[in-house]
Amino acid sequence: MNEPVRVGVVGLGTVGSGVVRLLVDSADHITRHAGRKIVVERAVCRDVEKDRGLPLAADRISSDIHDISRDPSISVAVLLVGGLEPARSMMIDLLEHGKDVVTANKALLAEHGPELFELARRKGRSIAFEPAVAGGIPIVAAISECLAANRIESIRGILNGTSNFILSTMEEDAADYAETLARAQAEGYAEADPAMDVDGTDATQKLAILAHLAFGVWVPWGDIPRTGIEEIDLDLIRFAGELGYRIRLIAVARRADDRLAMRVAPALVKIGTPLAETHGAYNAVSIIGDAVGRMFFHGLGAGQMPTASAVVADIIDTVVGRTAITFRTTGVLDADSPAARIGPADIEERSFLRFRVADKPGVLAQITGILGEHGISIASVIQHDAADAAESGVPLVIMTHACQSQAVQRAVAAIDAAGVTRGKSTCLSVLDDWTPAK
Ligand SMILES: NC(=O)c1ccc[n+]([C@@H]2O[C@H](COP(=O)([O-])OP(=O)(O)OC[C@H]3O[C@@H](n4cnc5c(N)ncnc54)[C@H](OP(=O)(O)O)[C@@H]3O)[C@@H](O)[C@H]2O)c1
């Protein structure tokens, strides 16, 4: 049997603790796959006094990254500290000292990926990051290795478990947004500060990484149009349901001539299709490749053990040398990757519009008139009777036929400006094209 591989774990929070447990509890199984034992030599966290109940002697835990980076017996370091700093400095220190790194930190990669990967290449080291994108779903390996023969045409996915938990629970429990967010926090599905999950930042950072892998371009995540779920209310979910749809936070990247059409926004997906049937904290990714056709991946995108599953798989890949080969041959997160040209913003699609209007004659005609002036034709209208009336107005819901998305935005702005609506109107895309790939 080969010498054991010694691993350093930086961060002993949710994921780090899961990784230590998995490496210890499944040691025999992991040894079989790696061809040698993988042992946790050291771990680093902030609070060394805290009892984490881990199968790791107290003298193996410290608060100094140098205890891992400068230990020559450690060849692989697992970076499970979130945020940009000190995570970035820690990654640089580990690479500078010759460690191969595995990380789950998507914010760090989306922000500083090319710089860090360039350093790793210079040092002859690798960075593995499967857990950073969709937790337990092996989407990085799928795109960069298993689907390598394909020209990827599009990626469409639910990449944030917190927002999916909120949207699906609102529908299932007929609960409003604030109540459901509080429940998600109480049950551990949302952070105390959920901003980056519900405003779409987290999904956008993941989409930027996926788009890089799939299309070979570097996408600054801040350039991707993004709308969160904070303004989705129960009425919208109910009206979408009446029309046969569910609302999900969908990340999309697809080829459009020489550009990438990308966005993260709540959208309507047809009930019965895989994205609509993705409930709770699950993630899902649909990919179309020119040779393979449409593929669908579904699983837990976060959580202690699903994420640890991906971290440990990356450690094994690093130990057996697979990561280094992929890293060398695919140019992943290469600083020389061309910048993505994002757009066109104008997409031909159906739209779901919700207006709140005064309950009086002529309003519907005025709204449909403005839509007509912008070349938008209507597929269906829902207007419940005045029993639904509230201070905020009567809801009027319109599903359009496929038309240019920018024309719809202009029409909705014109309707709001015409003074017939109360408050800001809502416009969501309808993602209809779930047809078997040719
Ligand atoms: N949680 C998930 O389900 C999940 C899923 C996919 C990806 N991720 C990513 O994985 C990473 C870790 O997430 P997490 O949920 O495990 O975070 P977490 O529970 O907050 O744990 C972070 C760990 O980092 C340690 N740490 C922070 N600053 C440090 C410093 N200056 N020096 C040493 N240690 C420091 C903390 O030490 P103390 O414990 O002593 O405070 C803690 O152990 C993040 O990038 C996250 O986005 C998480």
Indicate if 123 belongs to the active site. Answer: no
Task: Quote the percentage of the chain above a pLDDT of 70.
Answer: 96
Which pLDDT does position 66 carry in this prediction? Answer: 98
User: Looking at the predicted structure, is the pLDDT value of residue 253 above 50?
Assistant: yes
Residue 17 burial (10 A CB sphere; 0-12, 13-18, 19+) = buried
Which residue's CA is the closest to the ligand 1 atom numbered 39?
13
Which pLDDT does position 131 carry in this prediction? Answer: 96
SS3 354: strand
CA 76–ligand 1 middle distance (angstroms) = 18
Phi, psi of 349 (to 5 degrees): -160, 165
Catalytic residue among 50, 206, 270, 424: 206
Q: Please report the atom of ligand 1 found closest to the CA of residue 202.
A: 47
> Tokens at residue 74, please?
């450690």
Assigned CATH topology for domain 348-431: Alpha-Beta Plaits (3.30.70)
Task: Please give the average per-residue pLDDT across 256-280, as a whole number.
Answer: 94
**Residues lining ligand 1, judged by CB closer than 6 Å?**
11-16, 44-47, 50, 63, 80-82, 86, 104-106, 131, 135, 302-303, 307
Which pLDDT does position 384 carry in this prediction? Answer: 77
CA 303–ligand 1 middle distance (angstroms) = 12
Q: Please report the atom of ligand 1 found closest to the CA of residue 135.
A: 6
Which pLDDT does position 254 carry in this prediction? Answer: 92
Which pLDDT does position 339 carry in this prediction? Answer: 79
Task: Please give the average per-residue pLDDT across 63-81, as a whole number.
Answer: 98
User: Looking at the predicted structure, is the pLDDT value of residue 434 above 60?
Assistant: no
Least confident of 260-264, 342-346, 375-379: 342-346
Side chain identity at residue 377, one-letter code: S
CA 130–ligand 1 middle distance (angstroms) = 16
Is the overall model pTM greater than 0.95, yes or no? Answer: no
Cβ-Cβ contacts under 8 Å for 431 (sequence gap 6 or more): 156, 250, 252, 267, 268, 269, 270, 275, 349
Task: Please give the average per-residue pLDDT across 303-308, as a whole number.
Answer: 94
Which pLDDT does position 386 carry in this prediction? Answer: 57
Beta bridge partners of 43: 9, 61
Q: What is the DSSP letter of 73?
A: T
Ligand 1 pocket test, pick from 10, 15, 78, 193 with the greatest ligand atom count within 8 Å of Cβ, gives 15
> Tokens at residue 263, please?
């966005």
| 157-193: pLDDT as tens digits | 999 999 999 999 999 999 999 999 999 999 888 888 9
User: Looking at the predicted structure, is the pLDDT value of residue 12 above 80?
Assistant: yes
Q: Please report the atom of ligand 1 found closest to the CA of residue 46.
A: 40
pLDDT band at 332 (very low <50, low <70, confident <90, very high): confident
Where is pLDDT greater, at 419 or 266?
Answer: 266
User: Does the domain made of 5-134 have the CATH classification 3.40.50.720?
Assistant: yes
Where is pLDDT greater, at 344 or 65?
Answer: 65
Q: Which architecture characterizes domain 149-300 according to CATH?
A: 2-Layer Sandwich (3.30)
Ligand 1 pocket test, pick from 10, 14, 189 with the greatest ligand atom count within 8 Å of Cβ, gives 14
pLDDT band at 372 (very low <50, low <70, confident <90, very high): very high
Residue ranges covered by each domain of the chain: 5-134, 149-300, 348-431
pLDDT band at 369 (very low <50, low <70, confident <90, very high): very high
Beta bridge partners of 156: 252, 286
Which residue's CA is the closest to the ligand 1 atom numbered 41?
46
CA 12–ligand 1 middle distance (angstroms) = 7
SS3 406: helix
User: Looking at the predicted structure, is the pLDDT value of residue 435 above 50?
Assistant: no
CB 71 within 8 A of CB 8: yes
Which pLDDT does position 341 carry in this prediction? Answer: 80
CA 123–ligand 1 middle distance (angstroms) = 26
Ligand 1 pocket test, pick from 80, 116, 283 with the greatest ligand atom count within 8 Å of Cβ, gives 80
Q: Strand 293-300 to strand 403-404: parallel, antiparallel, or no bridges (unpaired)?
A: unpaired
pLDDT band at 344 (very low <50, low <70, confident <90, very high): low
CA 263–ligand 1 middle distance (angstroms) = 28
Task: Please give the average per-residue pLDDT across 211-229, as a whole number.
Answer: 93
Which pLDDT does position 383 carry in this prediction? Answer: 87
Here the contacts of 297-301 (C-beta below 8 Å, separation 24 or greater) are: 297/134, 297/137, 297/138, 297/139, 297/142, 298/137, 298/274, 299/134, 299/135, 299/136, 299/137, 300/135, 300/136, 300/137, 300/161, 301/134, 301/135, 301/136, 301/137, 301/158, 301/159, 301/160, 301/161
Side chain identity at residue 143, one-letter code: I
